[in-house]
Amino acid sequence: MTAAIKTLDELLTSPTETNRSLSTEEYFLNMGPQHPIAHGSLKLVLLMDGETVRKVIPVPGFVHRGIEKMCEHLGYRQIIHLTDRMDYLSALMNNWAVSKTVEKAAGIETNGRIETIRTIMAELQRLQSHVLWWGVLGMDLGAFTAFMYAFRDREIIGEIFEETIGARLTMNYIQPGGLMYDILPDFVSKVKKLIAYLKPIIEEYDTLLSGNVITQERLRNIGILKAEKAIGLGCTGPVLRGSGIPYDLRKLEPYGAYDKVDFDVVIGTKGDCWDRYYVRIEEMRQSLKIIEQLIDNIPEGPHSVAKINYKIVLPEGTYYGQIETARGVLGVFIVSDGKNETPYRMHFRSPSFNNLWTVTQIVPGWRIADLIAIQSSLDLVIPDIDR
Amino acid sequence: MVTVAQRAAGVLESNIWLSLWFMLIALVAIGALVAFLGMGLIYAERKIAARFQCRLGPMRVGPHGILQTVADTIKLLLKEDIIPAQSDKIMHLVAPFLALSATVLILAVVPYSPILQVANPNIGILYVTAISGLSVMGILLGGWSSNNKWSLIGGMRSAAQVISYEISATLAVLVVVMFSGTLSLAGIVQSQQAGWWLWRMHGVGIISFLIFIIASTAEINRTPFDIAEGESELTGGFHTEYSGLRFAFFFLAEFINMFVASAIAVTIFLGGWMPFYIGGFEHFNRVMTIIPPSMWFAGKTAFLIFIFMWFRWTFPRLRVDQLMRLEWKILMPIGFINLIAAAVIVIQKFYFFPE
Amino acid sequence: MASNNIKAVKKEERIIGGRKVSVAVVMPRDTPAPIPSALAGLVKGMLLTLGYFVRPWKIVTRQYPENRKTLKFPQRYRSMLHLIFEEDGYHRCMACRICEKACPNRSIKILSQKNQISGKIELDRYIWRMDTCVFCNACVQSCPFDALEMGHEFENAVYDRRLLIFTLNRYAGPSVLRKVESMEARSKMMEPRDRYGGPVPLNGTSMPIVQPLMVKPAQKPGDIG
């Protein structure tokens, strides 16, 4: 798919194909950065005809904080705290992505305990992220109760994080060379209680939203993303898997302890909003399955194999590592000049950035209410797009 | 029973001042009812919503948050009244009053109890249906005059929605009119002396009741039919650009509308102020009369208001074309078939305790 | 799991990249749900919310200012930074500046002085900026003497921004890890330090327009001020 870069002016004044018999006037509607469903500060310029959307032009960049530039004068252990703030709903997975890349580049070998705990934490974070996504989807569709239930359940996972890590959102826990803290003795029992609590709760979620005919009609056959288009746009994560392509980095390039556990890759068939929705609900169940298999078998060992004040200088060259976050594939690209302890250039391939541009392809032709359903089902986190 | 309007009309020739005095009492009573109902209903909505969502609701202002609505009212009264710069100023000023006046006019004809009713026109239920079409004017004017594309979309959607669902509501009401033989609201309540129409009309009654409840939820713009003000889509829809007292009118109009829809449903289906009588069981009926009729009315209306709130906090929102499809393709055909079946049942006297 | 009696997910095995991967396929919904199961789904949703309505013990809200006495924080919770003081009131900081280098955004500034008597470097002021700190725990982790910890105070809102820049040490002098001959010699080397004094650092430079907030100097050593 070739992309000729157009300026915003050109996009706004270019003519659209019209083959309507009734002459109506199209108008621009600005779903601006401050909007209840913007999920962050994302501006969408919509070209509308009545209630149908003819063109969507996203204008990201309102949350740009220069993370990649800031990384250029921070050491690798200091970069980890910035990655928390990119896609804050999968903070631990972002930490893991950078740690993995740095460890591979520097040749640091971690042990089984570190990898197992990292996997458990990542799956807990994935659960937390999907629960919040579910609640926000309910709120966008109009069921405000779903939002409250989601936050109530998210708190419980947050409390486990708070006890082990010390923070609920900005974790800074998975560092190159291991973990910041070892897990507490009651971590295993707490996680087991959580699993026992969450299993019937996901059934409740099914009752409240998935089994409701109104939700099904709002999500069914809306915003169909065909498989070829999804691959062409570079989507990953549940967006790609909802279109039927079983691309899951946890199975294809296993890292951590994923090769030791048995779980299903959840895919859809048609690529509509219902597929993307139910893929994530089923992924929640698969995450619970993974945690169940790992929680009793955490091997013994130190929680960090690198010394605390370890200054990491990567050899000269370029390194790339990727990980499957709750939204898709997060890739970390490091260019090191071999002399400093700071990278020469660091780039993050964020999953929400590629998923965002699907709205330009799948929304035109649908109504405003469908635009909202589609945007919710894509699960975008705007700070991840803007970094 | 004598309503206030009849009293006022009776002495109009002889004593104009007494007549005006009666009208003033009615005005003040309805005004007080609107004010206190508004405060009570908004507080109840917030607390009930909180209970559905595993949280507490307002707890700070006053013990258990009882004075929360008072604080909100004071805040809204003290706010600056904003009129958008390039809007149509006259329409912007008039819209909230239209929305509220439609609601208040219906409150005047509802029979609250055998002795409490402000006016009882012969065409009671027809009057109610006609006035409820006036509320769409308020929403449409509010949406258009705000000079805001989002509000315009909200206003247009709501206009289409309200006028469509009036048909279903009227079809359900016509069933009751056929059974009770009179259009006046007091007459309909009196005709339920042998039992409420909901169970007396057996199958037809339940279907009419359900159709009326669904149509009423759409008439008053509540979830799952609140596309006009859909908070997630349009932030505020037709009332985005309002602030201060005029926003309070829209807000109040929504809750009083809910009360009015419940009151009308209670009057025509659930017997109004009539206790739970079963024709012919004298002892049972005497026991049922222990609770005064106004308490019966209040209890039934509160129950229906709870049902409306239950709908709101459970279901997501319908899309506008699904909403239209529900009305025109599903509810209206069922309503017509219901009407024909009801006509057959009335003629054959196939219901409980026929007259 | 099945909703509306339609099997939602089907499990199968696929070959991807030469490997057998177990896949769960979400079944497509091509037609709207039939009316009886649609109504049943709606009613089940309503019963779920009613279930929470009639169980007030499921309420999870905690009323904040009233429950302050029983608030418990996890031990590792990261809030205000402290120097760890031993029982006799001495800290362990040797002014090695490792935490200053580890801090990602220079929220720590260490002013050190040379001890008159022993000639060794010791801590003068340990300035920590709470307004720029991101609570990443890098300083605590990197201190080789375990001199720092992050405590649990979370009600830190102030009306004046200068009150967010703290001097963490109560005295300027040798840490408890430095050997001094006697208690009198040690207390002669200590000077009290107030909490809000000192130059206001901004990434290593002083901000001339913001005057440091000078509080009355402490009367006794060990007094916070």
Q: Which domains does chain A have, with CATH numbers?
A: 8-59 (no CATH), 90-311+355-379 (1.10.645.10)
Q: Which residues in chain A are closer than 8 Å to B326, comparing Cβ atoms?
A: none
Token digits of residue B234: 């349009």
What gap in Å lies between CA A378 and CA A219, rounded to an integer? 12
Question: Which of B54, B55, B217 best probes binding to C when mutated, by most C CB atoms within 10 angstroms?
Answer: B54
The reply to whether residue A142 touches residue B235, judged by beta carbons under 8 angstroms, is no
What chains are in contact with B, requiring at least 3 Cβ pairs below 8 Å? A, C
- Strand bridging mode A317-324 / A265-267: unpaired
What gap in Å lies between CA C104 and CA C128, rounded to an integer? 13
Domains belonging to chain C, first-starting first, are: 2-58 (no CATH), 81-203 (3.30.70.3270)
Which member of A163, A216, A252 has the closest CB to residue C33? A216
- Confidence tier at B181 by pLDDT (50, 70, 90): confident
What gap in Å lies between CA A344 and CA A76, rounded to an integer? 11
Alpha helices in chain B (DSSP H): 4-10, 16-52, 68-78, 89-107, 124-132, 135-145, 149-180, 185-190, 197-200, 202-219, 231-234, 244-269, 282-288, 293-312, 320-325, 332-348
The mean pLDDT of chain B is: 85
What chains are in contact with A, requiring at least 3 Cβ pairs below 8 Å? B, C
- For A82-110, what is each residue's pLDDT tens digit? 888 888 888 999 999 999 998 888 888 88
The distance of A149 to chain C (nearest Cα, Å) reads 10
Greater confidence, C182 or B21?
B21
Residues 157-176 of C with CB under 8 A from B: none
Q: Is the pLDDT of residue C116 over 80?
A: no
What gap in Å lies between CA C109 and CA C120, rounded to an integer? 19
Q: Residue B208 has what pLDDT?
A: 92
- Confidence tier at A197 by pLDDT (50, 70, 90): very high
The reply to whether residue B54 touches residue A29, judged by beta carbons under 8 angstroms, is no
- Confidence tier at B302 by pLDDT (50, 70, 90): very high
Q: Where are the domains of chain B?
A: 87-348
Q: Residue B81 has what pLDDT?
A: 84
Q: Which residues in chain B are closer than 8 Å to C48, comparing Cβ atoms?
A: 314
- Confidence tier at A36 by pLDDT (50, 70, 90): low
Residues C126 and C169 sit within 8 Å (Cβ to Cβ): yes
Token digits of residue A306: 């690198």
The reply to whether residue C59 touches residue B310, judged by beta carbons under 8 angstroms, is no
The distance of B227 to chain A (nearest Cα, Å) reads 9
Q: Residue C225 has what pLDDT?
A: 39
Cα distances (angstroms) measured from residue B94 to each of B35, B83, B91, B242, B256: 20, 12, 5, 12, 19
The reply to whether residue C28 touches residue A268, judged by beta carbons under 8 angstroms, is yes
Q: Residue A342 has what pLDDT?
A: 86
- Confidence tier at A348 by pLDDT (50, 70, 90): very high
> What number is the average pLDDT over the span A316-341?
89
The reply to whether residue A212 touches residue B315, judged by beta carbons under 8 angstroms, is yes
- For B44-86, what is each residue's pLDDT tens digit? 999 999 988 888 888 888 888 899 989 998 998 898 888 888 8
Q: Is the pLDDT of residue A156 over 70?
A: yes
Q: Residue C202 has what pLDDT?
A: 46
The reply to whether residue B223 touches residue A142, judged by beta carbons under 8 angstroms, is yes
Token digits of residue C132: 């720029």
Q: Residue B150 has what pLDDT?
A: 75
Which member of B55, B233, B320 has the closest CB to residue A148? B55
The reply to whether residue C60 touches residue B54, judged by beta carbons under 8 angstroms, is yes
Q: Which residues in chain C are closer than 8 Å to B315, comparing Cβ atoms?
A: 42, 45
What gap in Å lies between CA A138 and CA A274, rounded to an integer? 13
Mapped onto helix, strand or coil, the DSSP state of residue C150 is: strand
Q: What contacts A108, CB < 8 A, 6 or more positions away?
A: A102, A176, A177, A305, A306
B310 touches chain C (CB under 8 A): yes
- For A219-236, what is each residue's pLDDT tens digit? 888 888 888 988 998 889
What angle is formed at CA A194 by the lines to CA A188 and CA A195, rounded to 5 degrees?
A: 90
Q: Which residues in chain B are closer than 8 Å to A143, comparing Cβ atoms?
A: 313-317
The reply to whether residue C56 touches residue B310, judged by beta carbons under 8 angstroms, is no
- Confidence tier at A308 by pLDDT (50, 70, 90): low
pTM score = 0.88
Greater confidence, C197 or A273?
A273
What gap in Å lies between CA A105 and CA C40, rounded to an integer? 57
Greater confidence, B35 or A17?
B35
Q: Residue B231 has what pLDDT?
A: 57
The reply to whether residue A265 touches residue C22, judged by beta carbons under 8 angstroms, is yes
Alpha helices in B181-227 (DSSP H): 185-190, 197-200, 202-219
Q: B162-171, B211-220, C112-121: lowest mean pLDDT where?
A: C112-121
Comparing CA positions, the residue from B298, B306, A213 lying closest to residue C54 is B306
Q: Residue B28 has what pLDDT?
A: 92
Q: Residue A126 has what pLDDT?
A: 93
> What number is the average pLDDT over the span A149-153?
91
- For B326-338, what is each residue's pLDDT tens digit? 889 988 999 999 9
> What number is the average pLDDT over the span A46-70?
87
- For B78-94, what is each residue's pLDDT tens digit? 988 888 888 878 888 88
ipTM of predicted complex: 0.86
